[in-house]
Amino acid sequence: MRIFDPHIHMTSRTTDDYERMAAAGVRAVVEPAFWLGQPRTSVDTFVDYFDSLIGWEPFRAGQFGVRHHATVALNPKEANDPRCRPVLDLLPRYLDKDGVVAVGEIGYDSMTPAEDAAFAGQLALAVAHDLPALVHTPHRDKARGVERTLAVVAESGIEPGRVLVDHLNEVTVKLVRDTGCWLGFSIYPETKMSPPRMVELLRTYGTERMLVNSAADWGRSDPLLTRATGEAMLLAGFTEDDVDQVLWRNPVEFYGQSGRLDLTDLEGAAATFAGNSILRGGE
């Protein structure tokens, strides 16, 4: 089973995770820029964070045979913090980098006017830089959040086939299915979407434009739930080809629209990044 996790925050994960993911078939990941759990106090910390998403983290992933790409954005939550908003002026510089395959994650957290402005502005950036957009949907008040999300997407003029609307569930999937956008589902260990529920959704809505991710981060999450979903699909009678479409070909097609996906194998990956290895300073 080859797996592409289209949404995972590896910065928050350990090398054990990379090892277990590689053993489970995860060969590629996309790491969206997001909120780190504690408010940032200045724009400069975003510079270091974005640099690590396109520098150190792809290097670290490569040590385990995993291809790593990133999406960059001002995340929905910090769009509300005036200290962070100048990040929007930094983004064009990063959206030109090779390892960046989309603008994201953007969208709504609490649906404030500040989030409206950051969301619309960053969709415009996606259009201007000819990149796809990864759109987070709120965890609270989900249906209203998705409706409003889709209205902003439609207004932006971005081609729906270049938008991935993420964190969907049984209720919100219906709102997105006929818009032409891609549909993302984050599989969590306890709450929200689970592998059996995901299998039911794939039975109902088919495998086209459907993406499954672990959204693993610093909270309770599990980077192997992509694999668990593939196995649940097989047990439910889906074919290996169906699993390959959902767990590999769909994310490749979506992010491939950036023209920047590099999935060549990692044999011979560099042993150091800027002179540093994952061995903490040497053998």
Q: Which residues bind Zn ion (CB under 5 A)?
A: 34, 215
- Tell me which residue has its CB nearest to Zn ion: 34
Amino acid letter, residue 119 = F
Q: Which lies closer to Zn ion via its Cβ, residue 145 or residue 238?
A: 145
Q: How far apart are the first and last CA of the chain?
A: 33
Return d(Cα 78, Cα 87) in angstroms, integer: 10
- Burial code of 88-99, b = ≥16 C-beta within 10 A, e = fewer? bebbeebbebeb
Could you give the count of Cα atoms lying within 13 Å of 146 in the half-sphere of its Cβ? 21
Report the nearest approach of Zn ion to the CB of residue 131 (Å). Answer: 17
Smallest separation (angstroms) from Zn ion to the CB of 32: 5
Which of 18, 34 has the CB closer to Zn ion? 34
- Distance in Å, CB of 203 to Zn ion, minimum: 26
Gap between the Cα atoms of 214 and 198, Å rounded = 12
Instruction: Name the residue nearer to Zn ion (CB basis): 92 or 219.
Output: 219
To Zn ion, the closest distance from the beta carbon of 5 in angstroms equals 11
Say how far apart CA 25 and CA 223 lie, in whole Å.
11
SS (H, E, C) 117-148: HHHHHHHHHHHHCCCCEEEECCCCCHHHHHHH
Output the smallest distance, CB 93 to Zn ion, in A: 22
